[in-house]
Amino acid sequence: MMKKRLLTGLQPSGDLHIGNYFGALKPFLDTYGEYESFLMVADYHTLTSKKDSENLKENIVNIVRSYLAVGVDPQKAVIFKQSDISEHTELAWIFDTLVTVPFLMQAHAYKDKVAKGLEANAGLFTYPMLQAADILLYDTEVVPVGEDQRQHIEYAREAATKFNNAFGETFKQPKELILKGLGVVPGVDGQKMSKSYGNTIPLFGSRDEIAKAVMSIVTDSSGDRPENVYRIHTLFKTEAELTGLYEEKKGKYKDLKEALIEDIEAQVAPMRERYESIDEVEVKKVLKEGNEKAQAIASAKMTTVRKKVGVAL
């Protein structure tokens, strides 16, 4: 039986944090073996928010190092780069012509980013249609992402429906895969942990960097349990394991933070070692092989799409 396709992508927009790990990478790792899997570097999405070419280049390399360091096997998942497969932007254009401005206006991610001061450029506005193209080009059925991406997957379904209604059945309906009970990982300030908000615990940070971030977690002094510390701690230990500790160290925020640092360190230290050992040569090799596989599928699909819309003579 043919395996279903699974695809996800991360933006190379900065160092990964534990929110990315538990929201996107971990669900990917837990499930990708059951599917024909694709893991993309969403570099063109990053251009909507950042224009720093040297930094982008470095982050592209680092995100592939991250994929490999957390344990993704490039023989079992196609690791590729969005910008190398030009069919993504081509298909995004077609989707842009199918969805309306008021529909795109409802995107929470767009509104949030503009409210946070990001430039409302046209690329940021049509961002969900490039993401729809990423997903639909590969007949993806499963998309593991964090809670904040749920609406973007709905947008991809809408793009598929609009296209299929206009030109005949062409695209499959993808479904998001969101880890139950996880939701949004809070940052050190209690808001969603995000590269853009400077409130992260870095995934490949040194022990000192991790300790510094944990020590800065905002604690609410109204109760015995520092909720922000506890919420992050539940990612590393079960609630049953934590009950005793939080009972014993009631009100001792510093001790609880130190315990959290130890638990994070135990899990990330081996990944950090692998990360440090992967160089740019290896990254380029992995991308070259992945891009070839992705390109073959994308080319074939776009040939069909061009015929369906009527531009192929």
Active site residue 116: no
Q: Which of residues 151-180 bind ligand ADP (CB under 6 A)?
A: none
Please give the Cα distance from 221 to 223 (Å, whole number).
6
> Which candidate in 192, 249, 257, 301 is catalytic?
192
What is the identity of the amino acid at 127? Y
Active site residue 180: no
- We find the least distance from the C-beta atom of residue 11 to ligand TRP, in angstroms, to be 5
192 scored as a contact of ligand ADP (CB under 6 A): yes
Q: Which of residues 177-236 bind ligand TRP (CB under 6 A)?
A: none
Mark residues 50-69: x for contact with ligand ADP by CB under 6 A, - for none. Answer: --------------------
8 scored as a contact of ligand TRP (CB under 6 A): yes
Of 11, 83, 126, 131, which lies in the binding site for ligand ADP, with binding defined by CB under 6 A? 11
Of 5, 113, 162, 195, which lies in the binding site for ligand ADP, with binding defined by CB under 6 A? 195
13 binds, among ligand TRP, ligand ADP, none (CB under 5 to 8 A by kind): ligand ADP
Of 5, 6, 9, 305, which lies in the binding site for ligand TRP, with binding defined by CB under 6 A? 9
* Residue 179 CA: distances (Å) to CA of 104, 182, 211, 240: 26, 6, 27, 19
Of 72, 143, 260, 287, which lies in the binding site for ligand TRP, with binding defined by CB under 6 A? 143
> Which candidate in 26, 81, 162, 195 is catalytic?
195
The CA-based dihedral angle spanning residues 243, 249, 250, 252, taken in that order and rounded to the nearest 10 degrees: -140
Please give the Cα distance from 74 to 68 (Å, whole number).
8
- We find the least distance from the C-beta atom of residue 8 to ligand ADP, in angstroms, to be 7
Please give the Cα distance from 11 to 117 (Å, whole number).
19
Of 70, 135, 235, 298, which lies in the binding site for ligand TRP, with binding defined by CB under 6 A? 135
Which residue do the tokens 């909720």 mark? 227
Q: What is the DSSP string of 58-115?
A: HHHHHHHHHHHHTT--TTTEEEEEGGG-THHHHHHHHHHTTS-HHHHHT-HHHHHHHH
- We find the least distance from the C-beta atom of residue 110 to ligand ADP, in angstroms, to be 13
42 scored as a contact of ligand TRP (CB under 6 A): yes
Q: Which residues bind ligand TRP (CB under 6 A)?
A: 7-11, 42, 45, 131, 134-135, 143, 145, 149, 152
Instruction: Point out which residues bind ligand ADP (CB under 6 A).
Output: 10-11, 13, 19-20, 23-24, 145-146, 148-149, 184-185, 192-196
